[in-house]
Amino acid sequence: MITLVSFRLLTWTWIGIALLLIPVQVVITAPYGRHSKTSWGPTIDNRLGWVLMEIVSPLAFGYFFLTGDNPKTGPAWLLFALWMGHYLNRSLIFPLRLRTAGKRMPVAIAASAVFFNLVNGSLNGYWLGTLGAPYSSGWWTDPRFLAGLSLFLTGAAINNWADNRLIHLRRQKDDTGYRMPSGGLFRFLSCPNHFGEIIEWTGFALLAWNLPALAFAVWTAANLIPRALAHHRWYRAHFPDYPPKRKAVIPGVL
């Protein structure tokens, strides 16, 4: 069994890796979707890639949560439900809804996401299932819990709304082109889906109030801010009439 000290060291190292990768991700955009490249080796079907890489997270999280000895108090079950709800959508429903017929992603991208989800799901599941102090019933009314839950739900709603809007920019299943998104938060941002996801996992870190959840929030921002900046540059390069005041991922700021 891993000790508390070594678990903390491991998780801080994991956070450090996310921070070190930010400049790398600013320079090298992960080559899937509109940034696809043929020079990254073998590829797999895009939707299959999404299922394979994302299903790892609920499996790892669920395994360590359910097999751990910690008492499963109400707040812990709520965290479990939020994680599972998000990932059942991301790994099974979202890929089925994508209109990316014939598109592929590099196996290297899917493999790196599998690794990320394995580590992230395991750290969070192991903490809640085994190492972390169990939540008491007083946690239900703690301001961190209440603020975190509100942020999580708001972020999830923004993320799903924006993903849905983007998916429906393609009118038919075999349409794989790009259109300029508009309306709602797209008036202010190129990537409200990424903005929503960052809010969602920041909220989770607040409501869970533990180190692995913080690590996930840091990784999400480290992955998605550079990706949103790349999307934003892409929109500007491909749509001459792109709204000049629209930001990439943080309203009014970035």
How many residues line the site for ligand NDP (CB under 6 A)? Answer: 23
Q: Which of 91, 117, 124, 220 binds ligand NDP (CB under 6 A)?
A: 220
Nearest to 94 by CA among 167, 189, 35, 158: 167
Nearest to 232 by CA among 210, 251, 213: 251
How near is the Cβ of 238 to ligand NDP at its closest, in Å?
9
SS (H, E, C) 121-143: HHHHHHHHHHHCCCCCHHHHHCH
Question: From the CB of residue 174, how many other CB atoms can be counted at a distance below 10 Å?
Answer: 8
In the bound complex, which residue of the shown chain has the CB atom lying closest to ligand NDP?
33
What residues contact 226, with CB distance under 8 A and at least 6 apart? 22, 25, 26, 29
Q: 224 or 229, CB closer to ligand NDP?
A: 224
How near is the Cβ of 78 to ligand NDP at its closest, in Å?
20
Each residue 120-159 as x (binds ligand NDP by CB under 6 A) or -, in order, gives ---------------------------------------x
Query: Which residues are paired to 45 by β-bridges?
Result: 104
Question: Is 186 within 8 Å of 180 (Cβ atoms)?
Answer: no
Q: Which of 100, 117, 202, 210 binds ligand NDP (CB under 6 A)?
A: 100
Site for ligand NDP, residues 225 to 254, rule: CB under 6 A: 227
Site for ligand NDP, residues 36 to 95, rule: CB under 6 A: none
